Amino acid sequence: MTLLDRGDTATTDDTFVYVGANDPLAQPVLTELAREYDERYGSFFGESASVEIHRYPAELFAAPSGAFVVLLRDGVPIAGGAFKRFDERTSELKRIWTSAEHRRQGLARRVVAELEDESRRRGYDRVFLTTGPRQPEAKELYLRTGYTPLFDPSKSPEEVIIHAFAKSLESSPLDVPGITAAHEAALAEHRAADPGFAIPTVSPIESD
């Protein structure tokens, strides 16, 4: 899942640095993400945010198949994100974050663009990600930046629950059926490995 900002601002003091997921520079990303996930979702998915944040070992976000990037301003982390291998063609974006004090500056858009470029450098030709029903900013950003929704956009967020997106990194069109099937297979594999895993059933919000 991802959290992000809106707007478009950059300074000459902003620098992207690639670090390990356990590096001290990455900790503000993970700490604030966990706190905000808890505030937004609580026990919605049946587990705390810290479980999701620490679900994957740090090695998955390391070269050659993964990456973890932090955007520094005057040496201080203000935004960041990561990707891991989804399949041989696809990187999966994770941990997209902007400091609460630096939102509405277009930082998340810049982080996503940087991770797309790094994905190309690592040999991937498409990007995949998921976000949740209580992160409307994420949905808006990915729709604005060329991502294809792998769900029915006419449905309410509470009906969709897991909002999956994908984007081709080449000039060729995105293979929507192929990446959708890969997403569904990944969910099935997750359920098989973790019998307790379940997407919650939520009634749509009633209108007046």
> Residues 6 or more apart from 63 whose CB is under 8 A from it?
122
Structure tokens given for 160: 């969709």
CA distances from 198 to 41, 130, 147, 162, 193 (A): 15, 15, 26, 11, 12
Q: pLDDT band at 83, cuts 50/70/90? A: very high
Q: Tell which CATH architecture fits domain 14-193.
A: 3-Layer(aba) Sandwich (3.40)
Residue range 60-88: average pLDDT?
Answer: 96
Query: CA 150, CA 12: separation in Å to the nearest integer?
Result: 37
pTM: 0.85
Taking phi over 0 as left and psi of -120 to 50 as alpha, with beta for the rest, 158 belongs to alpha
Question: For residue 127, which of 81, 85, 71, 97 has the smallest C-alpha distance?
Answer: 85
pLDDT for residue 203 is more than 50: no
